[in-house]
Amino acid sequence: MTRPPAPRRPVPCRRTARRDPPRCERKFAPARFDDLSADGVFCGCASIFGAADLGGDLVEPGAFAGSLARRGAAGVKLLFQHDPAEPIGVWDEIVEDARGLRVRGRLMPEVARAREVLALMRAGALDGLSIGFRPVKARTDPRTGIRRLIEVDLWEISIVTFPMLPEARIGEVKRLEQAALAAIRRATALVRAG
């Protein structure tokens, strides 16, 4: 009598074999996409200074300065759901302002996942931003338990489903094609009107 073969163990998929930077942490912020265009350009705030997130972290002004000086926007990855195997675009600008970490990114239409993300952003199904970082200098308030992030090494900023920082929003998504078309129509109307 022969025994049936033992069930085979499932092969780990790409997502279960994910390799993250050592000690990399993530903080989520909801985003609102006012306009979207085929080119996928959007702007917003990936982190708000002085606002504690749902995980009890508060980013201090200047926390990103050293990292941005070393890496610049081009050195920070634009990922989908923090998956290092899912780059979906590039950051054209990342700067600290009085409010927090301002970003301007561009989804790559040549990448299938970026096209899917753009469609989900248009539908309102994806509305969050999240930073992936390594804390360099932080202190925890023993009274409140809030961890103040004084300096962080910013690795990536992702478009995500679930945000942790309700105050951080994407404030502007550029609809470049429609704005240009509207300007052409206005100019044409002025020429015709004489």
Nearest to 120 by CA among 18, 25, 42: 42
Residue ranges of domains in the chain: 41-192
Q: Which of 102, 95, 116 is nearest to 31 (CA)?
A: 102
Contacts of 143 (CB under 8 A, 6+ apart): none
96 DSSP β-pair partners? 101
pTM above 0.75, yes or no: no
Measured CA to CA, the distance from residue 51 to residue 146 in angstroms comes to: 10
Q: Do the strands 147-160 and 57-59 form a parallel or antiparallel pair, or are they unpaired?
A: parallel
**Residues of the chain where predicted confidence (pLDDT) is lower than 70:** 1-24, 26-38, 166-191, 194
Express each pLDDT in 143-176 by its tens digit: 999 999 999 999 999 998 877 776 655 554 544 4
Please list the helix, strand and coil fractions of the chain in percent, rounded to the nearest 5, in that order.
20, 40, 40
Which CATH code is given to the segment(s) 41-192? 3.20.16
